[in-house]
Structure 1
Amino acid sequence: MAKNNSRSAVAAYEELTAGINIVKKQVVLIPLLNATRIEYDTEHRFVSKKGWIACSAYGRIYVHPTRRANPEFWAKVLSIGLICLGFAMIRRREPQILWELACLLTAEQFCNPLKIGKTPEILLHIPHIVPNGGEEKLFQDFVTEGVDTRLVTWAESWPGIGKNFFIDEYKSDLAIAEWKSRFADGIASGVGVAIRIASGEDIAPDEIFQVNYRGDTLAKKAKRWFMNNYPLLGALAASFDIEQNPMQCQRYNIHIAAIDVGAQRIWINSAAGLNEEQTLFVLAHELLHAGLNHSSRCQGRDPFLWNAACDFIVNSWLLEMNIGSPPNIGMLYDPEFINLSAEEIYDFLARNIRYARKLATLSGRQGQPDIIRENTIGNTGFTDAEAYCRRALARGMNVAIQGNRGTLPVGLIEEIKTLSQPPIPWDVRLAQWFDEHFPPPERPRSYAKPSRRQSATPDIPRPAPKIPLEETRKARVFGVVLDTSGSMEPQLLGKALGAIASYSLARDVFAVRLISCDAIAFDHGWVIPENLLERYSVRGRGGTILQPGVDQLNLLVKRGEFPDKGPLLIITDGLCENDINIPFTHAFILPEGRYLPFRSRGEVFNIK
């Protein structure tokens, strides 16, 4: 009798092995199969004596130890179990039997077109249509509308009466993303093989089935989790490369993590010892830095203090959204800062510098930001990469809200919406400045000259436009102090003078008093706006001192050659003296990303 049992067990093993080999011929399922461990449930803990299989969220499929079945039957049963793993269906939902039934029907529907094996007669069921919503919609229908008891009996037949087909749940969201990613890799590989075959390429059988799942690091798994499961940050995560080389991280003094938006790269030091939840938190932290444009919003502030202020805000939002857990070194978080903006927190840190210098960002070092800004001099404006990040975060927020994918902090929503509103372009603001100082001149009409008559009403005289007085026309003037030092780019000079000339012509400006400055001032006299549009030679190209140009206009005021209140436009790159005494109504035109070394009382227009 024992000899017969031994032969039966050997035959069952051979049949199961043959069934596994059939599954291995299906490219779509190979990554899942390679990550799965098939075990005999010899003690019938999970599979009853009349059952077939049971699935664990940890990648184990328990099978009946002595069941005799055709290899085609085993192939079909194992494939459905693998598909349940690939769709990350294994979890607890009450009533559990209805959830398992919905998942089995959905997995079977996906498996049937693949034509893997055959369904055992005992596992055949009455026809049932799976709706578009998949297992979730099917489960809700079963709960609200009821289900045929024959389908319930069919679901119980897989593990056997009294057992659950799904044994346990996933430990973390990363585990779910990992199984989904394996399934996606298999589907992509299957499509790739099909395309190669359709194109007429000869592929050896061994090459078709040689598909291995790449062992990704925790950081790449976290990136994939955001792409698959978290729409708010999914598009952002997809646009960044992850660098984990400890030598590269050491080069930039990165102990834990940092981000460079311009290079579209996130550094996560693999030597930091982060676990799955901490990796999720750190990656989300860096992605929010990118999406909220914290790098460019520094705007001349101390980089570390600004970074720390942004960290206080970002970390409080991540805790509220319950994304992962902070790293072991801790994080910047203070409940008193929850309702404050990053600018307000920055002001607090700037006033308490001793306290601020003790803080540490995710770079892991005190006083060092985790926002890396390459080539910051002359390139501190918003970049194209940041514009993409801003749009990606806004789209992700809309998807998350419309899809009911959890709630988001109010402060985060408000900040994303604020950033989504584009600032007024510099040329529009400059036009508004001209409108303020040069309103359209009044056109008085008079009957003193021969009046116009319309052909429709020849008996009614019409007043003729009166030519403005010469004094009124000559009063529409302003001054321009032009920085012609060696640091000024010709493109900036051309664009600024072109804008000034076009707006002056549109607003009937009589003339412009042009003064160029480097180390000394050069008075070019009155220049009509049309001449500024032509090729114009400037003098200077030495050092930068703007005060002599302003003083030159003061002398003209004393001689009655220039209005005592201006207005005045100053075109410079910001590399000038630390203080300028300007008695006129004035405004500055600077290239984007440059700043004045003092607080300006007038408006500042930044040219792109």
Structure 2
Amino acid sequence: MKKAHKKSDKQAAEFFQEGLEVVYRHPIFGKLARAAHICRDEGRAYPKDGLCIVASAGYVYCNPHSKAAAEKWARAIAHALLHLGLAHFKEKARQQDWNVVCDCAVENFLSDLKFGRPLDEFRVAPPIKDEDVLYERLEFMSPDEKWEYSHFGTAGSEEDMMFSSKQEFRWYHKKNDWPALFAEGLQEAVWNAVSAASDAVHPRRLNSKYERAAEWFINSYPLLGAIAAQFHIIADPQICIREQISIAAVMPAMLEIYINPAAKLDDGEVKFVMAHEFLHAALRHGERRAWRDPYLWNVACDFVINRWLTEMGVGERPEGLLYDEQFNGLNVEAVYDIIVTDLRTYRKLATLRGVGLGDILGAPNDRKADTDLDEFYRRSLSQGLYYHREQGRGYLPSGLVEEIRALSAPPILWDVELARWFDSYFAPLTKKRTYARLSRRQSTTPDIPRPNWSSREEALDGRTFGVLLDTSGSMERPLLAAALGAIASYAASRDVPAARVVFCDAAAYDMGYMRPEDIAGTVKVRGRGGTVLQPGIHLLDEADDFPKEAPLLIITDGQCDKIVLHGREHAYLMPIGANLPFAPKGKVFRLK
């Protein structure tokens, strides 16, 4: 018996969902349904012997126990939405009579439209021409005459219109204009009917403001035209609810932009939002995040992009989007470095997706053909920049132009950056000819002494650096090998004879001076993570045979305590994705 009851409840929920989908798909009711809040659960003011009640604030409370068919659910929900669209919520002296009049007017409309199935299939609402006239007549009708106009609502024996004391329902801080939404739906339905009769192109392509905005980019804005031509715009409320998208989001790997229709953006705001998401994808913000906090990185990107688009005059910036004059002239990385110093403030800000959610969907590098995708975005932006300037299509901020050009240049590898850092401390040694040791390369003229090239021994004094190496179990062997190999090859090419090495785990182990190429063979990774590095710092600071001006390279995975360096030049070599538990003062190189 219990299983049969569960099966019945599941079937009732399926019928409700099918009816709701019919309403969503209909051009007249779709906009109203997406803007309203339709709920079917316990704890709501649903009618006990009916299907639904509509509140003036835009809520539709549905009976979770009703087992009505999908066609009846579609009819009932559309009935409730029409009360909002036809502006039926008016204060009247006889509110019950006014509800009766409104029910008749709505049923006449739905019957003419042949939408859904009537709740009472054996009765038809009498035609009325004017609601106010019928309202005045009802006062003087007998009970039998009044019954002809009664019981056409969706709440059974109750009134299906409820004045709510709640604040007006808003989506993204915008008040809903229900009659305007209804008028837009009617206009779209008429356009669809005319287009179908004339065998015109697909109506959604021309009538959708999202597709019109995409066409505008393709035809009138060369910078983003090629990208707009490849992206698919999805305005599906169900996807937006599932992904918690308040306004919009982008999935660069799938070339898709998701826009929530309930956000009610006008044409100018749609252009701004689409350009915002295009730039997120094209500038590869998801991939550039690297080790940074995903949400705060998204916030930093939004500040920069919104400033650019405002300066460029692309569409109109929706109210409430991130914008701050203090970040003018800064790139995304610089903005990120600022906002991480005030997490209490910036954690509360909302992206286009919502508070605490980034509007860049999908993990970085989650596409097999990621190289092809990078090439597509790089080529599209480069060519778009060229055509945009050739045709004089408007102002472009210098920061945006610099980022587009930087995309065309290959990124600098971590070992190259590390070599540049070392170069600032170890200038190349100048070799001189000397007869102290003759050159042996004289097989043709062995009787003629020739000088050899050699470096002065005193030039090698103090030519060293320190290596503080995390040898805990959390360190990955392949990354450790790559780091030590890069250090060894650099030291050999720059005539660094030895490095002072300290291994750190639960304690510091002084390995003394070692040839860089011998370090890798000596390292033994042990322990279970959680390294104490500060004793190694003290050991080097107190060592009499280690120069105070020698630089220090710290190799760790970030699972360590806070360290304090007393004025010594230093840098960190870490795996990509790892973070230090403190703000580093030296440079950080990311191993890949």
* Smaller-chain TM-score bracket: 0.5 to 0.7
Counterpart for residue 31 of structure 1: none
Counterpart for residue 161 of structure 2: none
Question: Per-residue CA shift, 1:276-308, capped at 9, x if unaligned?
Answer: 443332211111222334445567666555544
Alignment pair present for 1:539 and 2:525: yes
Counterpart for residue 359 of structure 2: 370
SS in 1 for 2:424: helix
> Counterpart amino acid of 2:525?
R
Counterpart for residue 549 of structure 1: 536
| CA 1:569–1:320: 2 relative to 1, 3 Å | closer
Aligned partners of 2:509 and 2:235: how far apart in 1?
56
| CA 1:495–1:398: 2 relative to 1, 3 Å | same
- TM-score (norm: length of structure 1): 0.53
Counterpart for residue 267 of structure 1: 258
Counterpart for residue 591 of structure 2: 607
Aligned partners of 1:338 and 1:589: how far apart in 2?
32
Aligned partners of 1:598 and 1:445: how far apart in 2?
50
| CA 1:240–1:511: 2 relative to 1, 3 Å | farther
SS in 2 for 1:477: coil
Counterpart for residue 155 of structure 1: none
| CA 1:524–1:265: 2 relative to 1, 3 Å | farther
Aligned partners of 1:460 and 1:509: how far apart in 2?
33
Question: Per-residue CA shift, 1:25-79, capped at 9, x if unaligned?
Answer: xxxxxxxxxxxxxxxxxxxxxxxxxxxxxxxxxxxxxxxxxxxxxxxxxxxxxxx
Give matches, 1:153-302, under 5 Å.
213=202, 215-216=204-205, 218-220=209-211, 222-238=213-229, 240-261=231-252, 264-295=255-286
The offset of 1:476, in angstroms, is 3.8
Aligned partners of 1:489 and 1:288: how far apart in 2?
36
> Counterpart amino acid of 1:543?
G
| CA 1:266–1:567: 2 relative to 1, 3 Å | same
> Counterpart amino acid of 2:350?
A
Counterpart for residue 314 of structure 2: 323
Counterpart for residue 13 of structure 1: none
The offset of 1:414, in angstroms, is 4.1
| CA 1:451–1:525: 2 relative to 1, 3 Å | closer
* RMSD of Structure 2 on Structure 1 (CA): 4.5
| CA 1:412–1:302: 2 relative to 1, 3 Å | same
Give matches, 1:385-404, under 5 Å.
389-404=377-392
> Counterpart amino acid of 1:287?
F
> Counterpart amino acid of 2:351?
T
> Counterpart amino acid of 2:416?
V
Counterpart for residue 506 of structure 2: 519
The offset of 1:493, in angstroms, is 0.7
SS in 2 for 1:360: coil
Structure 1 gaps, min length 5: 1-181, 183-209, 377-381
Counterpart for residue 415 of structure 2: 427
| CA 1:332–1:515: 2 relative to 1, 3 Å | closer
Aligned partners of 2:419 and 2:329: how far apart in 1?
37
SS in 2 for 1:485: coil
- TM-score (norm: length of structure 2): 0.54
| CA 1:484–1:449: 2 relative to 1, 3 Å | closer
Choose from 484, 493, 497 the match for 1:506.
493
Choose from 323, 333, 350 the match for 1:360.
350
Aligned partners of 2:502 and 2:338: how far apart in 1?
42
Aligned partners of 1:508 and 1:237: how far apart in 2?
54
Aligned partners of 2:236 and 2:344: how far apart in 1?
34
Q: Is the 8 A contact 1:484 1:542 kept in 2?
A: no
Q: Is the 8 A contact 2:286 2:364 kept in 1?
A: no
| CA 1:407–1:463: 2 relative to 1, 3 Å | same
The offset of 1:237, in angstroms, is 3.0
The offset of 1:523, in angstroms, is 4.1
Counterpart for residue 529 of structure 1: 516
| CA 1:450–1:574: 2 relative to 1, 3 Å | closer
Alignment pair present for 1:311 and 2:309: no
Aligned partners of 2:459 and 2:311: how far apart in 1?
63
Aligned partners of 1:584 and 1:352: how far apart in 2?
28
| CA 1:266–1:523: 2 relative to 1, 3 Å | farther
Q: Is the 8 A contact 1:516 1:539 kept in 2?
A: no
Q: Is the 8 A contact 2:471 2:523 kept in 1?
A: no
| CA 1:259–1:307: 2 relative to 1, 3 Å | same
Q: Is the 8 A contact 2:223 2:384 kept in 1?
A: yes
Deviates more, 1:490-499 or 1:598-607: 598-607
Question: Per-residue CA shift, 1:234-255, capped at 9, x if unaligned?
Answer: 3333554544432332233211
Counterpart for residue 108 of structure 2: none
Aligned partners of 2:203 and 2:505: how far apart in 1?
62
Q: Is the 8 A contact 2:214 2:228 kept in 1?
A: yes
Q: Is the 8 A contact 1:483 1:517 kept in 2?
A: yes
> Counterpart amino acid of 1:538?
K
| CA 1:309–1:437: 2 relative to 1, 3 Å | closer
Counterpart for residue 59 of structure 2: none
| CA 1:474–1:401: 2 relative to 1, 3 Å | same
Structure 2 gaps, min length 5: 1-194
Aligned partners of 1:258 and 1:453: how far apart in 2?
69
